[in-house]
């Protein structure tokens, strides 16, 4: 069984970013990423801080904008409009989830698609469906695809089953893997919470992707011998023996499933590590397209 760890693959992405950043700087350009955080959710704050730290480590222009949970719709949309018009900002990300009084779809639509490095604007999703290389794919699915490519796992002609139908992961990953090119040309089935006899579907998978948001939901009976399993889930479960009182587990019951697999990603240390790496990659691309460099 091969363990597909995210860190070395993320480092390969960062190496590419540094090379392309040097080329941009030589031409007088500096990629800029703005992250907007509304409210004080601890998990969101930690994730935004990680993005900001990585930007600064790589040498990007990083702008972290924190707004109170009670911000009005108009104030948030005005903030986005200012970022859309700022030539020093090439990528905009509004951290989700937002407080309940704000419409997440409206906020996503307000972001300039050319700066939508989170890949959630309908124009970018449409470009992914059309295999238009100027589109930005959501960071987690593109990270999954990169992990498969870097690990030497063949996807062409293989059956991929994605458990989960969110735009952020499931639907977007299905579009990517149905396309042409490296890490693609697959036959894709998307399953979800309403799928009948789910184990009979998932056992058909050469490559099984779990993105359903339920801790340890995928067990040994869901996986055929020799499958590759990509675990997108990051779930907190109570653990009094842990220093923080909880620990992180995936959507896959790792101990039960790993012995059946040819390859599997761990949680933590797997797909999650790739998400920020692909965000940095998208920001570099946004700068390149905006400047023609």
Q: Which of the residues are catalytic? A: 51, 95, 118
What is d(CA 236, CA 139) in angstroms, rounded to the nearest whole number?
21
Token pair listed for 261: 């697999």
SS3 of the chain: CEECCHHHHHHHHHHHHHHHHHHHHHCCCCCEEEEEEECCCHHHHHHHHHHHHHHHHHCCEEEEEEECCCCCHHHHHHHHHHHHHCCCCCEEEECCCCCCCCCHHHHHHHCCHHHCCCCCCHHHHHHHHCCCCCCCCCHHHHHHHHHHHHCCCCCCCCEEEEECCCCCCHHHHHHHHHCCCCCCCCEEEEECCCCCCHHHHHCCCCEEEECCCCCCCECHHHCCCCEEEEECCCEEEECCCCCCCEEEECCECHHHHHHHEEEECCCCCCHHHHHHHHHHHHHHHHHHHHHCC
Closest CA to 119 of 284, 279, 277: 279
């Amino acid at each position: 069984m091969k363990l597909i760890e995210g860190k070395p693959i993320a480092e390969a992405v960062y190496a590419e970013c540094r090379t392309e950043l040097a080329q941009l700087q030589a031409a007088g350009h500096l990629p800029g990423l703005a992250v907007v955080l509304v409210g004080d959710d601890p998990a969101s704050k930690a994730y935004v801080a990680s993005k900001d730290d990585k930007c600064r480590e790589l040498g990007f222009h990083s702008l972290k904008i924190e707004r109170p949970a009670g911000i009005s719709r108009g104030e948030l949309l005005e903030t986005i409009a200012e970022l859309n018009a700022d030539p020093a900002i090439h990528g905009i990300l509004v951290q989700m989830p937002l407080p309940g009084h704000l419409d997440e779809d409206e906020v996503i639509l307000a972001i300039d698609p050319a700066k939508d490095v989170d890949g959630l604007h309908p124009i970018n999703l449409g470009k992914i469906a059309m295999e238009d290389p100027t589109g930005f794919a959501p960071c987690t699915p593109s990270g999954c695809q990169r992990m498969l490519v870097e690990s030497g796992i063949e996807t062409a002609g293989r059956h991929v089953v994605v458990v989960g139908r969110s735009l952020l992961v499931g639907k977007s990953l299905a579009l990517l893997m149905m396309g042409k090119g490296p890490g693609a040309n697959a036959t894709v089935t998307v399953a979800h919470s309403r799928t009948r006899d789910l184990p009979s579907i998932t056992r058909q998978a050469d490559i099984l992707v779990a993105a359903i948001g339920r801790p340890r939901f995928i067990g040994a009976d869901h996986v055929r011998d020799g499958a590759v399993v990509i675990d997108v889930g990051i779930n907190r479960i109570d653990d009094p023996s842990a220093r923080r009182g909880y620990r992180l587990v995936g959507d896959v019951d790792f101990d039960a499933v790993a012995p059946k697999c040819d390859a599997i990603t761990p949680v933590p240390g797997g797909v999650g590590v790739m998400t920020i790496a692909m965000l940095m990659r998208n920001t570099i691309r946004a700068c390149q397209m905006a400047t023609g460099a």
